[in-house]
Amino acid sequence: MRLHRTVPFDDIANTLDPVSRVFFCQPMLALARDLSHHCANCCWTVQLKGETMRKFLVILDDSRECLNAMRFAAMRATNTGGGVTILSVIPPDEFNHWIGVADIMREEARERIIVHFEVFAKWMRDRQGIDPELVIREGEAVTEILAQIQEDPDIGVLVLGAGTEKSGPGPLIASMTKQAGFLPIPMTLVPGEMSKERLESIT
């Protein structure tokens, strides 16, 4: 298992004697974002004081390609010292009932999402050392994804899984690509049929 730990730059500097501090801190301060020390089972990433780590936003749904999107986001977060935000969007037409019935269905939908989320979250914690956060929103998928990106400035990359059906990569990607030129962050498409081994090699 590969563990990941972020170490503040000041913590490293404080462990050094005065002479080493001069030779280490002065030249490496400008490169501190990329500095890392690797051992067999751990990855250490230097974090500048006050620096915000980038988060990967990945969408939780019932599609097959969702699995590879989750894998990619977690692996990239581990290897770059980032985090993962998992967003699930409940469509508005799911609660077109009387108020009491709609409230019950809304709560049931949230419970299903949390159970689904915990499956991925456990794998990320156990295998990647990443503790993801879950965000549940209600509305149209594209609108809510864009809103989440705007509301959370720590999100640095949107990760979507691409389907392999003959009809195309999926309706979400088809809709999001129309917005791609206006997104404030990059969008990564992960092929649904890409093997776990291949994903590990490219992340």
Domain limits of the chain?
Answer: 3-47, 55-202
Per-residue model confidence as pLDDT tens digits over 145-202: 999 999 999 999 999 999 888 777 888 998 998 888 889 999 999 998 888 888 888 8
φ and ψ at 140, to 5 degrees? -75, 140
* Residue 91 pLDDT class (50, 70, 90 cuts): confident
Between CA 154 and CA 8, with CA 134 as vertex, the angle to 5 degrees is: 45
Would you state the pLDDT for residue 32?
38
Per DSSP (E only), the strands in 25-162 are 36-38, 42-47, 55-59, 83-90, 133-138, 155-162
Q: Does domain 55-202 have CATH number 3.40.190.10?
A: no
According to DSSP, the residues that pair with 155 across neighbouring strands are 55
